[in-house]
Amino acid sequence: MALGIPPEDPPTSSFLLPADPLTPSSWRGAHMAQEGIKGPVADIQVPKDRLRRPGKALPPPCLGPRGQGRPLSEIVGLCYSPQEPLNLQPEAMLLWLTLAFLWSPTCWAQQKYGPGGGTYFSTSRDFQNDITGIRVFIGPLGLIKSIQVRFGSSWSEKYGAPGGTPQEVILLPEEHITGIYGSYKNFLRYLVIYTDRGRLFPFGKEDGNTFIAFPDESDKVLIGVCGHYKLLGITSIGFEWGYPSFLKK
């Protein structure tokens, strides 16, 4: 270590579990809500060792077991290539970062889960309508091939690879997604969405590395999805959290 340069502080996680109703006790007592979900699905039990108490910081899910993680660019979820540095003066850099935050895809700075690679996708911002449904396409090998998001009464385009059997859930009025549990190997294999009504909906089959995603504030809900996909399916996925529409009025 060079003289005069203080050691770098270890990174810490800023992900906190939201307050009730989404708590470990509600997870253990929750059952899959059959109403509102279409397509073949399997029942789910969230492993107890995956649960954390409210108010406790979660370790960065993408670090993997024993802290053996991926490069920093994947951990923080940046979408630009580290092989293409930006040579800007401080004033220009500040302006660039501001414009990038305002005009770039919704998941520009969101953490992503999965090895990544392939074509990037991101749902468009909808400032008037909340997410009211999720549709997931499952391939014959158990891979999650693509995903659609419903804003208000309209479905987004299909993001991901072609094919697969669709499974979907339509949320109740004023119901919101407040947590995600999932797993992946080379491709995304499993997603479970949790809502503020205490309901959960699984898609696919758990296999490989697991992750848990929550907003950093208890009032926030899922407002967007992003990630990458290849020919066989989705290789990484990230989630954008924000305030529901009734809090914006």
The domain ranges of the chain are 33-73+110-248
Adjacent-strand bridge partners of 191: 182, 203
Tokens of 223: 């407002």
Helix (H, G, I), strand (E, B), or coil: what is residue 63?
helix
pLDDT tens digits, 177-232: 999 999 999 999 999 999 999 999 999 999 999 999 999 999 999 999 999 999 99
| Residues 41, 42, 44, 47, Cα dihedral to 10° | -120
List the one residue out of 30, 70, 66, 73 whose CA is nearest residue 51. 30
Question: Across all residues in the chain, what is the average pLDDT?
Answer: 71
- Span 62-104, pLDDT tens digits: 333 333 333 333 333 333 333 334 444 555 545 544 444 444 4
Pick the CATH number of 33-73+110-248 from 3.10.129.10, 2.100.10.30, 2.130.10.10, 1.10.260.40: 2.100.10.30
* pTM for this model (two decimals): 0.61
Q: What is the pLDDT of residue 115?
A: 97
Q: What is the pLDDT of residues 26-46, one digit of tens each?
A: 443 344 444 445 554 444 444
Q: Tokens for 144, please give them.
A: 């999650």
CB hemisphere CA count around 40 (13 angstroms): 8
